[in-house]
Amino acid sequence: MKKKGEVSHNTNGKYIRSLIFGFNDGTVSNLALVAGLSGAMLGNKVVILGGLADMIAGAISMGLGNYIATKSQVEFYRHEYQREKEEIKTLPKLEIKEIEDIYRKKGFRGKELAMVVKRITSNKKRWLNVMMEEEIGMTKRGIENPVAVGLMTFGAFLLAAAIPVIPFFVLPVKEALVLASVTCMSLLFAVGVAKTHYTGRDWLRSGIEMVVIGAIATLASYYLGDFFNNYLTRVL
């Protein structure tokens, strides 16, 4: 229970990266794809098939990629944890010296430094955790669950990538692209605003940043599609 006046910190923020990453990439990449196909003057069927293929392939690729990356980080943490644990057991004097060096750099001196070092090294679990955090730069609290991260990325990408495709089921290509663009830009802005709950950034700047990224990708893809369509028409 939080005491009166105590600041509450959000502990779920470590997973926001996977959700934002999956949603942003799913929205931007598939919107860019359907824009490119639309710019090439291809029909609804081609745009839909291309969008669905990218949605499924991208979600699998992103989910597995994030799972493997996070799993590798967990394995690295465990390896370093065991190494530090063994060094504390077999080379305690050297590890104590490392603690002294760490806290001397933080400004501790004399009796104050000796007291801090003694306090930390009197408990092997605390000692080990300090070594992991200060020397390796990793904490157990900061490690994400690989399965959870993979599923979050997969789900966020799949959901986001479906949004730009839906209008092409019911509208002609040009109108569908306009609706898809407006919808996706609005969602990107909302996601940019929402993530400031965890990042503490200015909401307007964060939202606009997301929209600008999406707009650049969409416009570039559309005009590239248009360019290649005109070029191939002349050549072929």
Measuring CA to CA, which residue among 66, 50, 89, 77 is closest to residue 17?
66
Amino acid identity of residue 232, one-letter, is L
Query: What pLDDT is stored for residue 7 in this prediction?
Result: 43
Q: Has residue 29 got a pLDDT over 80?
A: yes
Query: What pLDDT is stored for residue 14 in this prediction?
Result: 63
Mean pLDDT, all residues of the chain:
88
Q: Residue 84, by phi and psi: left (phi above 0), alpha (psi -120 to 50) or beta?
A: alpha
| Six token digits for residue 91 | 């080379």
Place of tokens 């730009």: 164
Each residue of 77-92: pLDDT tens digit? 999 999 999 999 999 9
How far apart CA 148 and CA 144 sit, in angstroms, is: 8
How far apart CA 179 and CA 168 sit, in angstroms, is: 9
Query: What pLDDT is stored for residue 75 in this prediction?
Result: 94
Each residue of 138-187: pLDDT tens digit? 887 778 899 999 999 999 999 999 999 999 999 999 999 999 999 999 99
Angle between helix 16-39 and helix 44-90 axes, rounded to 10 deg: 150
- Is the distance from CB of 146 to CB of 70 less than 8 angstroms? yes
Place of tokens 């990218």: 54
